Structure 1
Amino acid sequence: MKPFFVLIKTNLGRAYEVATALADAEIASEIYSIAGDHDLIVKFYVEDDTDIGRFVNEKVHHIPGIQDTKTLITFKAF
């Protein structure tokens, strides 16, 4: 399994709604609200052969209330 993170910017006032939709979809390992340019940071785990771009496009981007995302690929855990 390989982990990666997605920073999510939501439409105003929709962060909790988006977080709930992600939790209900049972695709995220962890979901946190954050301060700054983005509203949420979400940790995902996928199989090693999974196309992360396709996963984000098909599983995350369709959730109502998401304005923008930034995917952070991880290399090694310490």
Structure 2
Amino acid sequence: MVQAYILIQTEVGRAARVASDISGVDGVVQVDDVTGPYDVIVRAQAQDVDSLGRLVIARIQRLDGITRTLTCPIVNLES
């Protein structure tokens, strides 16, 4: 299982609607409206990196109101 944070910039005034729309996408674990350079932060999971990429490109980036995304895969360093 691969997890990532997806940092999202939205059109002005669209953050709450984007967050609501994303919360219904399969693979999305958590959605938060935030302030700063990004408007919404999503935690998502998928079976592998390829599936995660398809989730971001096919399901999230196509939602109305999103202008930019940055995907940050979570790295678990176990010793």
TM-score norm. by structure 2 comes to 0.86
Deviation at 1:34, TM superposition (A): 1.2
Task: Report whether the alignment pairs 1:14 with 2:14.
Answer: yes
TM-score norm. by structure 1 comes to 0.87
Q: Gaps spanning 5+ residues in structure 2: where?
A: none
Aligned length: 78
Distance 1:49 1:71 in 2: 11
Give the superposed CA RMSD: 1.8
2:2 and 2:52 in contact (8 A); partners too: no
Distance 1:75 1:15 in 2: 27
| 2:29 alignment counterpart | 29
Deviation at 1:64, TM superposition (A): 0.3
Distance 1:25 1:55 in 2: 9
Q: Which whole-Å deviations, capped at 9, do the CAs of 1:38-77 have from their partners, x for residues lacking one?
A: 0011000100363432321111111000011111011116
Q: Which whole-Å deviations, capped at 9, do the CAs of 1:15-40 have from their partners, x for residues lacking one?
A: 01001111123431000111110001
The secondary structure found in structure 1 opposite 2:24 is helix
The percentage of counterpart residues that share the same residue type is 27
Q: Runs of at least 4 residues of structure 1 off by over 4 A? A: none
Greater shift after overlay, 41-50 or 62-71? 41-50
| 1:47 alignment counterpart | 47
Paired letter, 1:44: A
The secondary structure found in structure 2 opposite 1:50 is helix
